[in-house]
Amino acid sequence: IVNDESINFNKEDIAKNLTLFLYPDDSDEDGRLLRIYQQYFMVSNAARLILDECEAKGSNLHDLYDYAVIQINDTHPTMVIPELIRLLTERGLSMDEAIDIVSKTCAYTNHTILAEALEKWPMSYLEKAVPNLIDIIKELDKRVREKYEDESLYIIDDDDRVHMAHIDIHYCFSVNGVASLHTEILEKNELNNFYKIYPEKFNNKTNGITFRRWLMHCNHELTNFIEELIGDGFKKDATELEKLGQYIDDKNVLEKLLKIKFDNKLVLKDYIKQHQNIDIDENSIFDIQIKRLHAYKRQLLNALHILHLYHELLENPNFDMEARTFIFGAKAEPGYYLAKCIIKFINSLAEKINNDPRIDNKIKVVFIENYDVSKAELIIPAADVSEQISTTTKEASGTGNMKLMMNGAITLATLDGANIEIFDQVGEDNIVIFGLSANEVLNYNKFGGYSALDLYNSNRVIKRVVDDLVNGFIPNMEKEGRQIYDSLITYNDEYFVLRDMENYIEAQEKIDRLYKNKEKWNEMALINIANSGVFSSDRTIAEYAEDIWFKGCE
């Protein structure tokens, strides 16, 4: 939650801010130190609770791993490893045994390949915030150095930074990614040096969603209709949604599905009118991109395509396209300036397009104010198109893609994260795929060869929309527009927005053609719903339990 207090609070007031809100702005030293204090506060309390509960249940702590598994969710809770070791030695165990026990108790889930998201804390910060852990962290690093000569495996690097993910990988018994491609990239590329020495640790657990919230709670009309068709077994076992497949050719079912979507669009329309005073057309395509604002998620690609459509309509008022309402929901990390520039770009674009009578309301753009999960519950049931357009290899999994699919939206996607598994579930005729392949992106990253400037100079469509960032076409964007322009042209478009743009425009044209045939569109929607059950978190949790938490148990 972002409010005035969270923006202006005193980061040095540690006692007050420990539990005020998570993920404070870490663009300065005080913010980074506050994050470390928060992380340690959380894991230390959790570790003490775990040890006390296990002892209450009969553990002598020498057998802690028979009573508990601690799943470290990304690198933020990594300090639970040295803290547990410290607490165990306090309770009488030797350092050797404490390290061995913790290594058999902790498991690590990696959620990203983005380097900036894998925490690396300067030792000086840790010495200030958690001095009681320093000797243990150094001991853990010493043991790695004694065993391996490869410096890339060390916990403390030459710049005296502590690599939290390295602690996790060395001192956890399991390391998992959260989608098949993500895990493959970890094994073959990003963590290949670790995979070579610990191949038995690596495994995949594709993320899932709480479908009882993201279908049953937020889309009552669709839930009731599904129950009429196949009974209520799907409420306990989401894979029973597969039974909907028998209705693919039933026109009455498809028409009812269309009506349910229309009803949900009316609800969202009323909300947007009431809260943001924007009139949208319930008969238009509701094109949805709701996710954290980050350059790799490429809200910018979406916005540049909107700008392209706007130009096409201005040049040719008879331009043939279905009316389209583009809806964004996103927040940016407090210190992420480029992301904030993109938010302003989308809102400035919306202001210009939504008030231009020349395009006859063929396009509307809405940036949902103060987006949160409660607003997602309104948006997702109304979605026609699910924008999952991250730079291939960058999205670990995604879960919004699963929520939107389960509510009958058609996925427009790169073959990234769990989009691949959605593709596998529904087949190529029921999803729209575009963009660079994983191998193409990895080869560009490894060998170079990509020039955004060449694309800019050779492609009229690309040049037109990129120039609009800095030529005054979009009002009040001088500073922010230059920042976005530089990210694309001066710094060579790190996330291949321009490289994928032409293909993305073609994919959007395909969406437009598909939507014109409502019966076919509704058939695709039903196929997506019917094949979404595998993405239930029930399945994910069962896999964690079977393969990690209770592995080897009778």
Catalytic residue among 32, 163, 205, 291: 291
Q: Is 292 a catalytic residue?
A: yes
For 324, residues 6+ apart whose C-beta sits below 8 A from its C-beta are 284, 285, 287, 309, 362, 363, 364, 512
Tokens describing residue 389: 């357009």
| Given 112, 223, 325, 399, the catalytic residue | 399
Which one, of 432, 449, 450, lies nearest residue 388 by Cα?
A: 432
297 is catalytic: yes
CA–CA separation, 124 and 140 (whole Å)? 17
Active site residue 111: yes
Cβ atoms 222, 528 nearer than 8 A: no
Q: Tell me how long the chain is.
A: 554
From residue 503, give the alpha-carbon distance in Å to each of 177, 301, 365, 412, 428: 29, 11, 22, 12, 16
d(CA 120, CA 118): 7
Strands 120-122 and 161-163: antiparallel
User: Is 403 one of the annotated active-site residues of the chain?
Assistant: yes
Paired with 328 in beta bridges are: 289, 367
Contact at 8 Å (CB) between 509 and 413? no
Q: Give the DSSP per-residue string, 294-322.
A: -GGGTHHHHHHHHHHHHHHHHH-TT----
- Burial (CB count within 10 angstroms: exposed 0-12, middle 13-18, buried 19+), residue 189: middle
Say which of 111, 163, 170, 305 is annotated catalytic. Answer: 111
Which of 324, 403, 411, 414 is catalytic? The answer is: 403
Would you give the distance in Å from CA 23 to the centre of its chain? 16
Residues 6+ apart with CB under 8 A from 60: none
Angle of the 460-467 helix axis to the 497-516 helix axis, nearest 10: 100
CA separation, residue 357 to residues 261, 279, 362 (Å): 28, 13, 10
3-state secondary structure of 405: helix
Give dist(CA 416, CA 436) in Å, integer: 10
Burial of 326 (0-12, 13-18, 19+ CB in 10 A): buried
Catalytic annotation, pick one of 201, 213, 243, 292:
292
143 catalytic? Reply is no
506 by Cβ neighbours in 10 Å (0-12 / 13-18 / 19+) ranks as exposed
Clarify whether 182 is annotated catalytic: no
- Say which amino acid occupies 333: E
Residues marked active site are found at 111, 291-292, 297, 399, 403
